[in-house]
Amino acid sequence: MRKLAVFSVAAALAFAIVGCGGGSKPKTTVWKLAFNQTIDHPQAQALTWLGEEFYKATNGAYKIEVNPNELLGNQKEAFESLQNGVIQMAMLGNPIVEAVNPDFAVLALPGLYRSAEHQQAAYTSGILDDLFKSTVKNNFYTIAAVHAGVRNIYGKKPVRSPADLKGMKIRVQQSQLMIDVINAMGGIAVPMSQGEVYTAIQQGVLDGAENNEVTYFDLKQYEVAPVYSYTKHFMIPDILVINKDAYESLSPEHKAIFDKLIKETIAKAFSIFLEKANTSKKAAEEKGAKFIDDFDASVFTKNFAGVVNKTLNTPEKRKLYNDIKAAK
């Protein structure tokens, strides 16, 4: 019920017209943007900046309203609302978009990126243009793929080897690839949406989860899973999307402003993320979390070849994989 109410309010506000006509006041189109974590998250900060700048640069014609904390539903629900035009923008985990085009799974493959910088360079080089365009038939435009940290396992005890992970139920995003990778590492993958993770660990439904330091700290997961081990198994991006009609409703002039601001937003999100990964780690340590990196993470990665080959099951996917690998 609560969610339904939220959705109908969102629907009513979308494209709301501010002002009472007479031609004197400009009308403001409000775009609702769904975000599943806190407003302090680097992406939320960068997107808030985007909203402010877009409002100024269009003289108040457009306003982007960032709704954090799954207010507009979890990522899957937000994605449905976006495709139905109830909301206009969303930042989504890559697995959510992978559900409409399996080629997105390539972006999540373990061992694909040499560094965060390599990932960011590949994403902004044009290599992904065709992949992005492919989603128009699903009623949305993919605007960008965004760095979302390096993912590591956390729980109540250190995880330095597949033997340590044996029997541990580890939450993953809803993705077959993630399930396969965690199982290949020795654990038992349990798909679940982000908003349920804290309670599931607290209640013992899960033994742990895997994520970057920012999410680990922002969502206070260190309280229930205080040991964070640097398994470094994934660098899964987030995907910024916009409803097709919303994007196409922009005039050529507004579209140019939007596209330019998006480039700056992505750069901003990236630099804030790198900084915040460090400060989140320190802040979690101050709260009692332990970070473990006295082991060789390649004890996990040697089991990944089978999963990578299983995913690269078409020439298009293999080409995308090779193009990203080769990006400077």
Beta carbons of 80 and 292 less than 8 angstroms apart: no
Nearer to ligand GCU, 75 or 81 (CB): 75
- Region from 61-69, 132-140, 207-215, 254-262 binding ligand GCU, contact rule CB under 6 A: 207-215
Nearer to ligand GCU, 149 or 312 (CB): 149
Least distance from ligand GCU to the Cβ atom of residue 36, Å = 5
Cα dihedral value 84, 89, 91, 95, nearest 10: 30
- Name the nearest CA neighbour of 108 among 213, 179, 34, 198: 179
Q: What share of the chain is helix, strand, coil (3-state, %, to 5)?
A: 50, 20, 35
Indicate the burial class of 132 (C-beta count within 10 angstroms; 0-12, 13-18, 19 or more).
buried
User: Is 36 a binder of ligand GCU (CB under 6 A)?
Assistant: yes
Site for ligand GCU in 218-237 (CB under 6 A): none
Structure tokens at 242: 């916009």
Least distance from ligand GCU to the Cβ atom of residue 88, Å = 18
- Distance between CA atoms of residues 281 and 143, nearest Å: 30
Binding mask 67-86 for ligand GCU (x = CB under 6 A): --------x-----------
Burial profile 189-208: b = 16 or more Cβ within 10 angstroms, e = fewer: bbebbbeebbebbeeeebbb
- Region from 209-217, 242-250, 285-293, 309-317 binding ligand GCU, contact rule CB under 6 A: 209-217
Site for ligand GCU in 97-136 (CB under 6 A): none
Among 211, 243, 265, 280, binds ligand GCU (CB under 6 A): 211
- Region from 44-52, 105-113, 211-219, 301-309 binding ligand GCU, contact rule CB under 6 A: 211-219
Beta carbons of 201 and 208 less than 8 angstroms apart: yes
Among 238, 261, 273, 324, binds ligand GCU (CB under 6 A): 238
Q: How many residues bind ligand GCU (CB under 6 A)?
A: 10
- Distance between CA atoms of residues 34 and 46, nearest Å: 14
Site for ligand GCU in 255-294 (CB under 6 A): none
Beta carbons of 79 and 104 less than 8 angstroms apart: no
Among 215, 265, 280, 311, binds ligand GCU (CB under 6 A): 215
User: Is 42 a binder of ligand GCU (CB under 6 A)?
Assistant: no
Least distance from ligand GCU to the Cβ atom of residue 315, Å = 29
- Distance between CA atoms of residues 40 and 49, nearest Å: 12
Interface positions with ligand GCU (CB under 6 A): 36, 75, 93, 148, 173, 194, 211-212, 215, 238
